[in-house]
């Protein structure tokens, strides 16, 4: 996933604009801790710290992340497009986010 919530202020942040000292971060869907991966080879992204049942970010390939990032950057440049939000919730609760107290589940 390319975004996470900064735990200290609950602000949604982009991986490419974040730094490890900004941690801890949490998944916007299940609220489990996620880790910033920001190296030289892969696109900066977040991954769940523990193996969880949450589907957010699961199975996203490097091409998938790059496409999402390219679309986001292209839309932000359009004058007639406003309020572009990355990885926005659909508004429909997922099985993980509808729990009253989500748990980081080990598979
Ligand atoms: Zn999650």
The model's pLDDT over 94-106, given as tens digits with 9 standing for 90+, comes to 443 334 444 555 4
pLDDT at 89: 65
**Torsions phi, psi for 97 (to 5 deg):** -80, -15
* Domain boundaries defined on the chain: 3-77
Q: How many Å lie between the centroid of ligand 1 and the Cα of residue 97?
A: 8
Q: How many Å lie between the centroid of ligand 1 and the Cα of residue 87?
A: 12
pLDDT at 96: 39
pLDDT band for 88, please (50, 70, 90 cuts). Answer: confident
56 vs 6, residue with greater confidence: 6
Q: In whole angstroms, what is the distance from residue 28 CA to residue 34 CA?
A: 10
Question: Mean pLDDT over residues 53-81, rounded?
Answer: 89
Q: Answer yes or no: is pLDDT of 21 > 50.
A: yes
Give the chain's mean pLDDT: 83
Q: How many Å lie between the centroid of ligand 1 and the Cα of residue 75?
A: 26
Predicted TM-score (pTM) of this structure: 0.76
Q: How many Å lie between the centroid of ligand 1 and the Cα of residue 19?
A: 20
Residue spans of alpha helices (H) in the chain: 62-77
Q: Answer yes or no: is pLDDT of 33 > 90.
A: yes
Question: Mean pLDDT over residues 9-28, rounded?
Answer: 95
Burial zone of 54 (CB within 10 Å; 0-12 exposed, 13-18 middle, 19+ buried):
buried
């Amino acid at each position: 996933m390319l975004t996470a919530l900064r735990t200290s202020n609950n602000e949604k942040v982009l991986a490419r604009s974040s730094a490890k000292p900004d941690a801890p971060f949490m998944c916007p869907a299940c609220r489990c801790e996620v880790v910033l991966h920001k190296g030289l080879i892969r696109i900066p992204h977040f991954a769940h710290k523990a193996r969880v049942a949450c589907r957010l970010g699961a199975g996203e390939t490097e091409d998938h992340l790059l496409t999402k990032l390219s679309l986001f950057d292209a839309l932000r440049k359009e004058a007639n497009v406003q309020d572009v939000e990355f990885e926005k919730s659909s508004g429909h609760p997922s099985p993980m986010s509808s729990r009253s107290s989500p748990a980081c589940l080990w598979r």
